[in-house]
Amino acid sequence: MKKIFTLLLTIIISIGSLVGCSNTSNDDNKTVKLGVTGEEHEIWDLVKEKLAKEDINLEIISFSDYIRPNLALSEGEIDLNAFQHHAYLENFNAERKLDLVSIGDTVFAPMAIYPGKLKSLDEIKEKSTIAVPNDATNLGRALILLQSVGLIKLKEDVGLLPTLKDIVENTKNIEIKELVATQIPRSLQDIDVAVINSGVAVNAKLSPTEDALFIEDSSLEISKPYINLIAARSKDKDNEVYKKVVKAYQSQEIKDAINKLFKGESIPAF
């Protein structure tokens, strides 16, 4: 009898352990690690609150550059990231041979030209210096922006990724300095003007709508590749929990919060 009791107890404990493991696994599946850049993520904090009501724990992980969030996603350190636009992701995938995909659009964050030592574009003269981001997609975007204000001219049909070698006209012999995007705001006192991504600008307490000398037009067709997105590994593109993250972000509540918080510095693209 004692042996039977012991056997039954062992079976009960084993079943309990299996159930416990199963519950833990389910909980793990509902924790989503999201990579972002910078320390300001008020909108994602609101999304986190919305997801908590669905028993989904959104863990927000901040990175200080534009490289590591995609590598961390590819390597499985995080589940999703939200910091880049379509053109950047496409180029990053090609360069690093990764298989990351967009699972939803977020905002259009306009790139703009900001004052450094000079306080207007009219002050730009012979051999003035302009800082631009050094990563391929944002460099190309910056050069297209400089062309749109008449400071340089690029080769025809150069596409979205022009480089300094594609400049065919620079009548003022402007010196264009390529810098890491996140370092540009700290260099404003050393250069004449700078082209800065909206997210980097906001993190540096610069306002595209109030401080910029010139800002991208979000209504133009050429602006569409620069809509920001939520990225996942290709194999996870149909993950139901991740779809709930996208749905929580692409809600009227979050759209209203973006408009209220950023006042045109980031524009909802959903």
- C-alpha 62: how far from chain center: 11
Task: Tell me how far apart the alpha carbons of residues 209 and 179 are, in angstroms, rounded to a whole number.
Answer: 23
Burial class for 236, CB neighbours closer than 10 Å (0-12, 13-18, 19+): middle
pLDDT in tens, 191-223: 999 999 888 998 899 988 899 999 998 777 888
Label residue 29 by pLDDT band (50, 70, 90).
Answer: low
DSSP string, 137-204: HHHHHHHHHHHHTTS-EEPTT-TT---GGGEEE-TT--EEEEE-GGGGGGGGGGSSEEEE-HHHHHHT
pLDDT above 50: residue 12: no
Determine which of 27-31, 168-172, 173-177, 218-222 has the lowest per-residue pLDDT on average: 27-31
pLDDT above 70: residue 14: no
Query: What domains are there in the chain, each with its CATH number?
Result: 2-109+225-268 (3.40.190.10), 112-215 (3.40.190.10)
- What burial letters (b/e) apply to 121-160, b meaning 16+ CB within 10 Å? eeebeeebbbbbbebbbbbbbbbbbbbeeebbebeeebeb
* CB-based contact 203:131 (threshold 8 Å): no
Q: What is the mean pLDDT of residues 46-66?
A: 97
* Position 260, amino acid: K
Q: What is the pTM of this model?
A: 0.71
* Position 73, amino acid: L
* Position 222, amino acid: I
